C-alpha cells in the first residue's frame, strides 16, 4: 500500500472515546506521511479533530433526532476515501460506509453486520483485556501497521487556538485567580458513562483542598450537571463553571490546571492528551476498569474500591456502593505529593 491514501477514521460516540482514537492519526502519518487523514465524528466532538496536528479534515455525521441520515451521509462520503477504519461500529454507520464506495473497510469481526467490513479484527472489547486506545491501534493491522503503544509516547495531536486561551485568561483574571495559585480542576460527574465517586465524598475532598489558600478549585460539568457542581461550592476558593464553557474552552481551561480530578469521563482523557497530572476514580469490574478506560499516561494516580475484587458488574457495584470505600485522606496525600513536583 503506497502512502498517498485517503483514510477515514470513524468514531461517532463520546468525547473520551474520540480522544482515545486520535493517536491513530499520528501513527498513520508516521507510516504513510503523504496520506490524507479525515475523521468522521458527531457534531459535539468535532472540536477534538478540527484543530489537530495530524488530521487534515473533519466530517460531521449528519443526524436527525440522534440518528444518522442515510442518503445525506453517503453523499458526503462517496468516492472520497480509499480506506476507512471504524473504531466504533454501529449498524447504520457501517451500512453507510458500505455504500460509500470505500475499497478497504476495517472493523470488528464480532458484530452481526460485520459482513459490511472486508478487513476484520477479531477482538472482544467488552472483556476489557486491553486498553481502548490499544484496541483502536490494533485496527491498523490490516494496513501492515503493528504498533505497540507506550504511555507518555503517544501523540494525541490536540492544539489549542489562542482565541480560546484568551477567553480562559480573561475568566481567570475576572475571578482574580492569580498566577501563583495552583489550579485544580474537579469534574464530579460522568454523564452516566461510569460509576462515580459518591458526591458526598467528592464534596469532602473539595472542602479539604479548599482550605489551602494556595489552591483554587474550578468545578467543571455540563449544563445538566449544574446542580451537582453547585453542591461542591463550599467557599470562595471554589468556582462553579458547569455549562459555562464549550469543548474548545474546556480544553483551554484544562491546559491551565496543575491537577485534574475526575471520574472516568471525557475530561480525564483531555487531561491525558495535554500531559496533565491526574487523580482518577474507577470501579474494578473489567468493562469499566482503568485497564480498559484509564488515562493513558504515567502521570495519573487512580483510586478504586477496597471492598471488592473486580469479579462483579455495574449493577452489583452500584448496589453495594463500592466506590464509597475509597479513602479520601489517601487521595489528599496523593495530591500533595504531586503539587511540589509541578513546574519543577
pLDDT tops 80 at residue 342: no
- Please report whether residue 148 resides in a domain: no
Q: Is residue 154 part of a domain?
A: no
The answer on 126 and 21 residing in a single domain is: yes
| Confidence bin at 341 (pLDDT 50/70/90) | low
- Would you place residue 173 in the very low, low, confident or very high pLDDT band (cuts 50, 70, 90)? very high
pLDDT band at 193 (very low <50, low <70, confident <90, very high): confident
The phi, psi pair for 43, rounded to 5°, reads: -55, -40
168 and 291 both lie in a single domain: yes
- What is the distance between the terminal CA atoms of the chain, rounded to a whole angstrom? 46
pTM of the model: 0.95
For 229-266, the pLDDT digits (tens) are 999 999 999 999 999 999 999 999 999 999 999 999 99
Q: Do residues 176 and 298 share a domain?
A: yes
Nearest to 135 by CA among 98, 167, 108, 105: 108
CATH number at residue 324: 3.40.50.2000
The rounded percent of the chain whose pLDDT value lies above 70 is: 98
In a domain, 151, yes or no: no
Note down the domain range covering 220. Answer: 162-341
Shared domain for 87 and 114, answered yes or no, is yes
Q: Is residue 240 part of a domain?
A: yes
Domain count, the chain: 2
* 222 shares a domain with 125: no
pLDDT one-digit tens code per residue, 299-317: 999 999 988 777 778 888 8
Residues 335 and 196 in one domain: yes
| Residue-averaged pLDDT of the chain | 94
Q: What's the rounded Cα separation, in Å, for the pair 185 and 109?
A: 40
pLDDT band at 1 (very low <50, low <70, confident <90, very high): low
Contact (Cβ atoms closer than 8 angstroms) between residue 35 and residue 28: yes
Asked if the structure places residue 235 within a domain, the reply is yes
Inter-CA distances, 312 with 194, 253, 305, Å: 14, 36, 12
pLDDT surpassing 80 at residue 287? yes
* C-alpha to C-alpha distance for 83 and 40, rounded to whole angstroms: 13
Q: How many residues are listed for the chain in this entry?
A: 344
Higher pLDDT: 146 or 312? It is 146
Last residue of a domain, one of 111, 143, 175: 143
Per-residue confidence (pLDDT) for residue 224, from 0 to 100: 93
Query: Are 189 and 132 found together in one domain?
Result: no
Amino acid at each position: 500500500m503506497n502512502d498517498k491514501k485517503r483514510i477515514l477514521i470513524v468514531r461517532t460516540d463520546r468525547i473520551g472515546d474520540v480522544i482515545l482514537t486520535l493517536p491513530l492519526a499520528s501513527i498513520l502519518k508516521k507510516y504513510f506521511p503523504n496520506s490524507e487523514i479525515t475523521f468522521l465524528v458527531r457534531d459535539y466532538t468535532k472540536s477534538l479533530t478540527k484543530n489537530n496536528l495530524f488530521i487534515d479534515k473533519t466530517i460531521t455525521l449528519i443526524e436527525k433526532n440522534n440518528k444518522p441520515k442515510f442518503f445525506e451521509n453517503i453523499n458526503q462520503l462517496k468516492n472520497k476515501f480509499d480506506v476507512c477504519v471504524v473504531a466504533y461500529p454501529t449498524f447504520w454507520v457501517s451500512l453507510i460506509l458500505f455504500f460509500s464506495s470505500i475499497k478497504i473497510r476495517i472493523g470488528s469481526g464480532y458484530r452481526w453486520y460485520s459482513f459490511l467490513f472486508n478487513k476484520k479484527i477479531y477482538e472482544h472489547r467488552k472483556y476489557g483485556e486491553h486498553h481502548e486506545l490499544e484496541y483502536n491501534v490494533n485496527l491498523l493491522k490490516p494496513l501492515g501497521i503493528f504498533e505497540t503503544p507506550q504511555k507518555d509516547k503517544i501523540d494525541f495531536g490536540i492544539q489549542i487556538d489562542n482565541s480560546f486561551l484568551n477567553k480562559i485568561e480573561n475568566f481567570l483574571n475576572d475571578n482574580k485567580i492569580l498566577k501563583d495559585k495552583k489550579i485544580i480542576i474537579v469534574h464530579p460527574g460522568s454523564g452516566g458513562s461510569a460509576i462515580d465517586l459518591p458526591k458526598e465524598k467528592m464534596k469532602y475532598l473539595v472542602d479539604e483542598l479548599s482550605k489551602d489558600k494556595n489552591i483554587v478549585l474550578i468545578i467543571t460539568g455540563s449544563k445538566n450537571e449544574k446542580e451537582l457542581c453547585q453542591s461542591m461550592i463550599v467557599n470562595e476558593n471554589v468556582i462553579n463553571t458547569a455549562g459555562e464553557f464549550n469543548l474548545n474552552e474546556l480544553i483551554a481551561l484544562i491546559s491551565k490546571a496543575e491537577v485534574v480530578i475526575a471520574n472516568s469521563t471525557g475530561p480525564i482523557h483531555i487531561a491525558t492528551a495535554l500531559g496533565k497530572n491526574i487523580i482518577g476514580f474507577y470501579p474494578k469490574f473489567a468493562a469499566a476498569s482503568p485497564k480498559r478506560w484509564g488515562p493513558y499516561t504515567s502521570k495519573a494516580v487512580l483510586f478504586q474500591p477496597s471492598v471488592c475484587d473486580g469479579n462483579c458488574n455495574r449493577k452489583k457495584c452500584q448496589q453495594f456502593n463500592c466506590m464509597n470505600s475509597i479513602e479520601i485522606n489517601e487521595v489528599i496525600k496523593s495530591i500533595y505529593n504531586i503539587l511540589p513536583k509541578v513546574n519543577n
